[in-house]
């Protein structure tokens, strides 16, 4: 009877593990979809800014009347593009790296180095998320506005910083876990 119970507990353990694995895979896929959608939004903002700047140049050159909102919206748009797309860029390993150094390392050492740098990046992003959220919340509560010609509210401008930083925090954790698995596999194979 204990043999059957042991087999049953192993079977239930595997079922639970499979369920967790499916849940993590689904969450990872959903997160990748969110990153893809935000990257598309960033590209759309970039296209809009490009058209707006061209329109401003034409209006200034031919009508002598620049569009007052273009420079300001370009500044905000660049901030949004940065924080909307940076986690997607990290997911695709598109950030600048020192390949000369990394390529000379063994796969095991490279994975360990990438794990450590990813954990450091996650910690920095978590700090940025925390303080960005505090500042954004303060801007929302105070109802502050930018002292510019258009005078937009501060909150929508600042809230992208903790939002994008949190997404980057999650992506750094995913990257750390991925590289940790690579390191463990390389360590096992080297024995």
Give residue-wise pLDDT tens across range 39-69: 999 999 999 999 999 999 999 999 988 888 9
Q: How many helices (H) and strands (E) does the chain have?
A: 6, 0
pTM assigned to the model: 0.84
Contacts of 73 (CB under 8 A, 6+ apart): 49, 52, 150
Q: Is it the case that residue 4 has pLDDT exceeding 60?
A: no
Residue boundaries of the structural domains of the chain = 7-189
Closest to 122 in 3D by CA, of 179, 40, 82: 179
Percent of the chain scoring above 90 in pLDDT: 66
């Amino acid at each position: 009877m204990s043999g059957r119970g042991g087999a049953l507990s192993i079977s239930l353990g595997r079922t639970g593990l499979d369920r967790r694995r499916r849940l993590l895979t689904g969450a990872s896929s959903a997160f990748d979809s969110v990153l893809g959608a935000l990257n598309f939004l960033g590209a759309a903002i970039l296209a809009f800014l490009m058209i707006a700047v061209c329109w401003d140049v034409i209006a200034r050159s031919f009508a002598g009347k620049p569009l007052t909102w273009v420079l300001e919206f370009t500044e905000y748009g660049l901030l949004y593009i940065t924080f909307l797309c940076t986690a997607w860029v990290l997911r695709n390993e598109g950030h600048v790296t020192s390949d000369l150094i990394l390529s000379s390392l063994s796969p095991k050492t490279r994975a360990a180095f990438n794990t450590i740098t990813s954990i450091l990046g996650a910690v920095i992003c978590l700090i940025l998320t925390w303080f960005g959220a505090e500042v954004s919340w303060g801007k929302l509560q105070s109802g502050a506005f930018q002292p510019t010609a258009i005078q937009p509210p501060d909150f929508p401008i600042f809230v992208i910083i903790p939002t994008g930083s949190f997404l980057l925090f999650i992506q750094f954790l995913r990257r750390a876990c991925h590289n940790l698995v690579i390191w463990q596999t390389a360590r096992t194979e080297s024995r």
